[in-house]
Amino acid sequence: MILERFLLTDQVAVVTGAGRGIGAASAIALAEAGADVVISARTEADLDGVAVAVEALGRRAEVVAGDLSDFEVVASLARRAKERFGRLDVVVNNLGGTMPLPLLDTTPEYLEEAFHFNVATAHALVRAAVPLLLEGGGGSIVNISSVMGRITGRGFLAYGTAKAALAHYTRLAAKDLAPRIRINAIAVGSTATSALDIVLQSDELREQMEAATPLGRIGDVEDIAAGVLFLASAAGGYLTGKVLEIDGGTDAPTLEFGLPDL
């Protein structure tokens, strides 16, 4: 049956940024498909809530609270999967994010920080995970990028550049990792996460974002989690080096910041 291709029975996944939003939804989706999960973020209380949801599905969760901007901490997650569950099959690099700033306020240091948080941390985990994925015969890596990596908008210089780099990192890494390890990315559009909480509390801003999205709504975290499961499982087994666009049809920013002209 085709639905069996979406199962991850007794596989093991690492999900970063898994305390809330897309990361939490992805960890729960992978568990629902049969995987045990190592979940990591800064706030242990958030992770504990996700672990409860995972365990309610009959799967196991290993909680690792820490600063994932530290390369050693993020890389250690691969080892933790091996130590706790005996294997590693799936990696979801969901860590990332950068606040919008005007170009002249975007210092070189801020741009470097955006690359560090969105790209270099993902690479640190990939390097640590690859030997363990190969031990099990292969596996799948999913990087969470953004629609802003392919469209343009004022204020998104650091964030959009970093996410574009993550998308192309995915394409390049696919050549190095094929055929035993697949690596793909998701270009996420406007999605209802804690990062958008302030915006979503305003009916006016919500309506503006919905009107700017061809499908007429803001995405749910489950929309992205479904894509993660597809790419992680045998259902996406003939894809590598691809960027799946889950963005409601967006081809321009759904929110303008009203930045002044130079």
Distance (Å, rounded) from C-alpha 185 to C-alpha 195?
20
Residue pair 133/139 in contact (Cβ under 8 Å)? The answer is yes
Distance separating alpha carbons of residues 22 and 143, to the nearest angstrom: 12
Of 187, 236, 188, 229, whose CA–CA distance to 27 is shortest?
A: 229
Cα 220 to Cα 18: distance, rounded to the nearest angstrom:
15
Inter-residue contact 97 to 159 (CB < 8 Å): yes
Beta bridge partners of 181: 139
Burial 37-65 (b: 16+ CB within 10 A, else e): bbbbbeeeebbeebbebbeeeebebbbbb
- Residues taking part in catalysis: 159
